[in-house]
Structure 1
């Protein structure tokens, strides 16, 4: 840690290689070094990766540790910042292969640590049948000679005594607990392997002893991934390891070399990495956070990508900032300080160097408030991949349009997204952005954002729904038309009968005007009239056919001229990314197959020719006495013109006097007119009588169309579920706090709106089940809401069918139009069907819920948690540095610990996170990799106060003291965190 330097301050806790188990020339057992200290020291100095901390190991002794320290003081091992004793001892319990080993890792910071350690070791004893021996060199030599009197030299006796000396686990534990210095300065490590480790203790009482030993240990000497997974609680649970073994354990692995060749060269290149300064406090910190600070592997755990990591911040022309160069950690950087100390100022300047202000800076920003004092001041950022970016600080108030190389969550930004006013558009759009980014580029299918992708995926089903809704409306109209026709059959039959009677009466009236002797002519006239009516009906039908053919011709022309080209243009626009261009689209123009024009024209020509042939021409009567039609002619095959002329000729000669003739001709015209009307009525009656048969399949078809609408709705619902699938999978994989966040896709039925439209069609004053406002809504809620919102297409269709059958009579009784008023009731029935089968009140909705509550209903503070969930845990597509100004605002301490700590722990493993905070939990329990402490001097009369920064990791005692002094609850947070590990962290 560096405080108040004029140049640069350090980056806090970085991954450094340790070798906690290194023997040296002269080691008690299996010494293969041949006394070659130069080769031994050179092996350590040349190790790659560089060894920054060494645990000098020997059995029960400190002589080798003292020698290595002396060499260090003479200028060797310059890269080794920490050398500490590793006292290896054997427990008085063993396996078939070996005795169980334990290691005392001793803090060398105390100037009296050798004397204190010697005093502690002497408290450990070994008993034989005749004597008791203490753990010190002279006693070990005495033990060796007592067991083998032939050992004359001290070295051999020491080796033999050390080999026989065994430590009782109970005594070690008792003496450790009885000496405060030992508890403060010694960490206990035990081997986890089966050879000399606890894994060999598996049966009966040995199993219980094994658990006691492992509970007592702070560190496991184990290198396999399986062991590390176990001691981090990943194979069982964190709770199980903590309850059974007193806490999670860091795994470490040393070279355990007894020769120069093995020195600093562990098996399989399984190196020990500790995050933090190469200090004993750094090792203690690894015991507190084994998962985040200890690792065994060929390389250190990966951090954020170098190109996305700010390595160094340099301020120039900033006399108010004595720390002009600040190195940043690639993990979690916490900036703390008193109010007005300049902590947010540093975040603002880093963000400025990243062009991370998407819009104009808020007025509260340091860069805005201090703009008049920032002339010529610049911030330069050195990135991990060697790229350098630089920006002036004096124009930061202007809008920036550069690429943002970091994401900056200012307090104002978070407040705007989480406020009731900004939440809907802001927070939900951020949610949608994260969901969209969770999809790979290929899965996005050319979409530019979530809304675009959703519309792209759902367009097919929405269009299918629109088509079916249009078809459903047409089917309802057709059903109503056929029902109306059926209801009018009796009336039409009556009109037919009335016409027939009238024609009979008119014919009788006309017959009374005929002179005696003209009866044959009357019969001839009636035959002619009947034939003329039949021919006239043919002419009428042919004229109608001509009109229908002209309509077909017009539709064909309109389709070719307007519809087909427009459909092609629409298809080109909708599928512009399909890769089809230019003339390649020509075959997609919809055209009629075959000679459509020829068919229409041929039919028109034959129809007109046929009609004109039957119509004939008007024939002038030159001689009333001369018949125009032979008596034996087939009258039904003659043109209408000749028949009408013959009818006029006979009418003229049947009555001689003018007045009778005019009366006769008038009745004949009426008979012809009524006969024509009768023919029309008979055609209509035939059509109406066929309505029942035609209507038989329409309700089933309508039900099928209604079902297909909901199939389209379900398909759209599935589209949204598929869109959320990647983010859901990530949430399921991550667990923890993310388990409270849910993306829910549902159908929603606006029952109130649907019922209101239905009530508008009913007379609510009438007696019946729907009397009074709200009764229809009650019935719909009971019988339709559930199935509309969660049923299958078949269930929805059956439910509506049952609903109609149950209440149709009541609906008709409450109808605003009376059945007696056919036209009014017909119009009402059409509106009723459109309402009943309408589906525009059904919509597919998605919501974002946190702990079961829609984010629209959350407090601003809890919305802030959701926002941080997005950026810290779900936004995997964004690996840029994340800068957050006081994320704990509006949150209580418990929420901060429960909800945010885990998020920051996971986030810092994949991206650089820089937070400005005054909350101890966010610094201590996230195990911040770097703590930057801001402090401001007195404010001068004109200018900026001096803003200084100090930096370090939580393994640094001065930094811990600052954390405790500045952050409320800091000391309590430290104590709670270390309590379970029996590790005392001095302030």
Structure 2
């Protein structure tokens, strides 16, 4: 019996939160469907004082007052029965909805003789503006948005302010906010101040159409989503950024810089590998040159010996020993002199670094990292300089080299009175004497064995050549030692290059993780949503432009040659199979292994395709460096990210689906923005079923947390959302050269006259509504 009474009852007399949740279908296991089946739907809970004595009249227990939203007429109670969750409430105070400071309480148009109702009060919930076409609906929305500084960049040529511009001089809009704070703006604000923060969010027809049209600014939609995502992060997570792009830049700059540095390192290492390989190819040639140089020196020595055949064997042997020692000393002088020159060049380089390069590097750092906000004193610590006593070390080493060169050079000795008096003792260690002493002694010996002037000159020339060739031989041997060590260095350089290649992809993967983290608030919300929202997802992908990479590589090859890479396009086919999967979805190790496998399997074949013959060694070595830079290049790898709807990028969706996504964004996800939301015809590009299935519930939820002002021609968005206020726009007869008179009628669905206007304007009238229902075989219960 109780259930039967509750089933036909319109109102339940109850006040406890548990009872109210039950009758609103909010209890676990008892949803709206169950209530509809058992009790003919949800019921509003109301309560009175239930006074049994005079003192408790209008003083209910626990301050459980009943609140009905609507005008002071009986049909407001009927409306509470239709919308029990939105219209009825029990508690000490009415439910808190929009923030008062963010609610427009009243709009007034000043200086507008065409506005017959210049002042309108606005409800803090959902305000629906309806009317026939050209009746002044958009005029009111534009005026409210202009008063909120929210029209900049959002008005099209079809907007009221643009079309009626010549008639709006002197017209102003005055908004009074619920906190009593007024704002006054001219309707035409040609001197718009971009620093003004919009106090409302205006989705004009132009803005929505451009975001949702097939040829619209599709990136704008993604930008709006990113704005919502940014605002979903709490202030502590924003790192001081002011928008999503700046936050993304802050989180990824280091990673992108690391990638750039490693890519540059790969190019440099490839150059060095090429140089070391070139050195390896020089080993045989250097050995041949050394052999030839040694034979040439031996020939010079033999020629020198033939010039000094006269005289005792002891003196000739002494002369040979002195000449050999002089060759050694000349080499020492040459080495110490070269060291002096290098040390002086290094001193000049140090000076240039301090004077030019270091200050320039500091200035560049200041410009690049201006966001570090370091003062000049702090930046001084970043001035690059040399660690240790560089000047002292260079001065000391240069002085030492100059002393050594001077010591080995010695001084010129004057000729003695008798050639029998030696300049050098018989037991002296010749290779430790100065060149001056040795040359003086050589001259004395030559005179003793009676060498004529011509022979002496020839001997001097050959001796000089022997010294020069010995120096050249030493340089060749040093070069050979360097080239013989190139194989080990090449192996290390290749390892370093592979590590740099690995680090590039570590930076790429790290950037992907940053994007996932930034989009996490959106993903968490979508996981808890229903309907279309659950179909949205976020994707980050690596895109490898294999065609670009292969085309760049093929430009290095002679594609006419036989083999697996003959012709245009074959390299791309191989790369698609062996490299692309790792490039686009593999971890850094997998990418490095894929590249190593590709090199091992095909590098020899690719090298055989060189467009430069190997016989042209210099050109071929240059080609090898270009080949390595291409093979390890990563500029063709890019990161892309998108919001997807059923795995399709939203920028590629139909206008209708994009419209749904856009409105879901503002109504369901943008809950951090509590400013008034002004929308001009949200139903554009949307089908009626999508409006009812997706938008109605979202508008109902949105009006409970923010003020929503909507221009619409759709009955679902007015009636099924139970709009808190309906403003009907009417325009009078149009007089040429003037704006037609415009008036507005305000009320709610609890008002019979307002319901008639809604039915006439949005449904075509009662008769048209019933006729459609009859033709669609839909039963209407009055």
What is the TM-score of this pair, normalised by structure 1?
A: 0.71
C-alpha separation in 2, matches of 1:773 and 1:700 = 31
Out of 207, 230, 241, which is 1:436 matched to?
A: 230
Q: How does 1:1-80 map to 2 (within 5 A)?
A: none
- 2:496 maps to 1:701: yes
Q: How much has 1:681 moved relative to structure 2?
A: 1.0
Change (3 A) 1:224 1:237: closer
Out of 356, 364, 371, which is 2:158 matched to?
A: 364
Q: How much has 1:412 moved relative to structure 2?
A: 2.1
Matched position secondary structure for 1:446:
coil
CA contact (8 A) 1:230 1:236 kept: no
Q: How much has 1:258 moved relative to structure 2?
A: 5.5
Q: How does 1:224-373 map to 2 (within 5 A)?
A: 224-225=17-18, 228=21, 231-232=24-25, 235=28, 241=34, 245=38, 249-255=42-48, 257=50, 259-260=52-53, 264-277=58-71, 281-359=75-153, 362-373=156-167
Other-structure match for 2:667: 872
CA contact (8 A) 2:270 2:625 kept: yes
Other-structure match for 1:770: 565
Deviations 1:711-759 (A, max 9, x none): 2222233233332233433444455433333343333222222222222
Q: How much has 1:634 moved relative to structure 2?
A: 1.3
C-alpha separation in 1, matches of 2:654 and 2:446 = 98
Other-structure match for 2:267: 473
Deviations 1:65-105 (A, max 9, x none): xxxxxxxxxxxxxxxxxxxxxxxxxx2xxxxxxxx47657x
Other-structure match for 1:86: none
C-alpha separation in 1, matches of 2:289 and 2:432 = 30
Out of 597, 603, 612, which is 1:817 matched to?
A: 612
Change (3 A) 1:944 1:476: closer
- 2:645 maps to 1:847: no
CA contact (8 A) 2:35 2:42 kept: no
C-alpha separation in 2, matches of 1:487 and 1:230 = 90
Change (3 A) 1:669 1:548: closer
CA contact (8 A) 1:359 1:400 kept: no
Out of 242, 245, 254, which is 1:451 matched to?
A: 245
C-alpha separation in 2, matches of 1:317 and 1:532 = 110
Other-structure match for 1:486: 280
Q: How much has 1:277 moved relative to structure 2?
A: 4.1
- 2:704 maps to 1:912: no
Change (3 A) 1:597 1:342: same
Matched position secondary structure for 1:967:
helix
Q: How much has 1:809 moved relative to structure 2?
A: 0.9
Deviations 1:887-921 (A, max 9, x none): 22223333333443344233222221111111223
Other-structure match for 1:64: none
Q: How much has 1:344 moved relative to structure 2?
A: 1.2
Q: How much has 1:624 moved relative to structure 2?
A: 10
Q: Which has the larger radius of gyration?
A: 1
Q: How much has 1:255 moved relative to structure 2?
A: 4.0
C-alpha separation in 2, matches of 1:559 and 1:571 = 16
Change (3 A) 1:521 1:298: farther
Other-structure match for 2:720: 925
- 2:160 maps to 1:381: no
CA contact (8 A) 1:102 1:190 kept: no
C-alpha separation in 2, matches of 1:490 and 1:803 = 31
- 2:507 maps to 1:712: yes
Out of 539, 542, 555, which is 1:744 matched to?
A: 539
C-alpha separation in 2, matches of 1:839 and 1:778 = 18
Out of 611, 627, 642, which is 2:405 matched to?
A: 611
- 2:322 maps to 1:528: yes
- 2:473 maps to 1:678: yes
- 2:542 maps to 1:542: no
CA contact (8 A) 2:11 2:46 kept: no
Q: How much has 1:405 moved relative to structure 2?
A: 2.4
Change (3 A) 1:440 1:962: same
What is the TM-score of this pair, normalised by structure 2?
A: 0.88
Out of 793, 796, 799, which is 2:591 matched to?
A: 796
Deviations 1:549-568 (A, max 9, x none): 34543443344334444454
C-alpha separation in 1, matches of 2:764 and 2:573 = 56
Matched position secondary structure for 2:629:
helix
Other-structure match for 1:145: none
Q: How much has 1:384 moved relative to structure 2?
A: 0.8
Q: How much has 1:513 moved relative to structure 2?
A: 4.4
Q: How does 1:405-420 map to 2 (within 5 A)?
A: 405-418=199-212
C-alpha separation in 2, matches of 1:546 and 1:902 = 87
Q: How much has 1:514 moved relative to structure 2?
A: 4.2
Other-structure match for 1:761: 556
Change (3 A) 1:963 1:688: same
CA contact (8 A) 1:232 1:291 kept: no
Q: How much has 1:794 moved relative to structure 2?
A: 1.9
- 2:602 maps to 1:807: yes
Change (3 A) 1:304 1:812: same
Deviations 1:650-692 (A, max 9, x none): 6677674555555544444433333222211111112222223
Unaligned runs of 5+ in 2: none
C-alpha separation in 1, matches of 2:557 and 2:69 = 76
CA contact (8 A) 1:222 1:251 kept: no
Change (3 A) 1:299 1:741: farther
C-alpha separation in 2, matches of 1:716 and 1:841 = 16
C-alpha separation in 2, matches of 1:668 and 1:458 = 68
Change (3 A) 1:802 1:234: farther
CA contact (8 A) 1:351 1:408 kept: yes
CA contact (8 A) 1:408 1:883 kept: yes
Change (3 A) 1:360 1:238: closer
Deviations 1:320-371 (A, max 9, x none): 4333332212122111111111111221222233232215954433234334
Other-structure match for 1:161: none
Number of residues of Structure 1 aligned to a counterpart in Structure 2:
774
Q: How much has 1:823 moved relative to structure 2?
A: 1.6
- 2:626 maps to 1:836: no
Q: How much has 1:598 moved relative to structure 2?
A: 1.0
Change (3 A) 1:511 1:567: closer
Higher deviation after alignment, 915-924 or 654-663: 654-663
Other-structure match for 1:960: 755
Q: How much has 1:832 moved relative to structure 2?
A: 1.8
Q: How much has 1:307 moved relative to structure 2?
A: 1.3
CA contact (8 A) 1:849 1:855 kept: yes
Q: How does 1:36-185 map to 2 (within 5 A)?
A: 91=1, 100=2, 103=5
Change (3 A) 1:802 1:189: same
Deviations 1:495-553 (A, max 9, x none): 21122222223333444444354654544344334333333333343344334434543
Q: How much has 1:637 moved relative to structure 2?
A: 0.9
Q: How much has 1:309 moved relative to structure 2?
A: 0.9
